[in-house]
Amino acid sequence: MKADSAEFERMVTEYAPVMYRAALAVTGSEAAAEDAVGDAVLRAWQKLGSLRDVSSARAWLVKIAVNCARGQLRRGRETSLEELAEELPAPEPGQARELRDAVARLAPEKRAVVTLYYYEGFSTAEIAGMLGVRRGTVKSRLARAREDLRILLEG
């Protein structure tokens, strides 16, 4: 089933939080993530004809949000990924970490796949489509992220 204007408004409203979290994982910046969601709503509206079935709207909207988040970074409105990673506070030795804190310390490309996989429940194939990389790349990033998380969480 395709989406009409009312359906578009409903699905954007419903999926805005997951779009935001995906954008935040890419940018590491709340302001840039909000801007990305704003941009994504516009682009999704312009591209609505390419959404073949509303049942795939969630993944479709997240993919657009991820692309817009990358656009935010390219536009130079925010600091670079490397700088963001360096800005994060260092973990305090011996202190147990919740997952969210640990994820925030991952490198950006690992942070994105972990957010989409563990928090949002997307498959590795769906994540590959969203990020424009091969499924094997998603799997290897997840594997490396798990190792990092194991160190961060278990010490």
Partner 1 sequence: MDNFDKMLFEMAEREPADAPNRLKQRVRSALRDLPERSRYRMGRTARAALCGLAAAAVLAGTALAVFSAGGFKSVEFWTGESLDGEEFNWYGLEGGEYRRVPVEELSDRVRKLAEKNPVTDTTEYFRTEGWSAAEKFSGVTLPENAAIDDLEMSQSWMTVGSNEYGPTALTFWQGTDRLGVTVTARVYTDLMGERDISVKRGVSSELELTAEEYVSPGGLSALVVHLQSGEGAERTERYTADLLVDGFRYHIKVRVNGTEIETPRQALDTLHAILDGFAV
Q: Compute, in degrees rounded to 10, the torsion defined by CA atoms 90, 96, 100, 102.
A: 40
Can residue 48 be called a binding residue for partner 1 (CB under 8 A)? yes
Nearer to partner 1, 52 or 136 (CB): 52
| DSSP assigned state of 48 | G
CB 135 within 8 A of CB 128: yes
The span of 5-13, 78-86, 87-95, 105-113 binding partner 1 (CB under 8 A) equals 5-13
| DSSP assigned state of 155 | -
Distances in Å between the Cα of 49 and the Cα atoms of 15, 85, 122 are 18, 37, 23
63-92 residues in contact with partner 1 (CB under 8 A) are 63-64, 67-68, 71, 74-76
Give the binding site for partner 1 (CB under 8 A). Answer: 2-6, 9, 12-13, 16-17, 20-21, 24, 30, 34, 37-38, 41-43, 45-50, 60, 63-64, 67-68, 71, 74-76, 98-100, 115, 118-119, 132, 146, 149-150
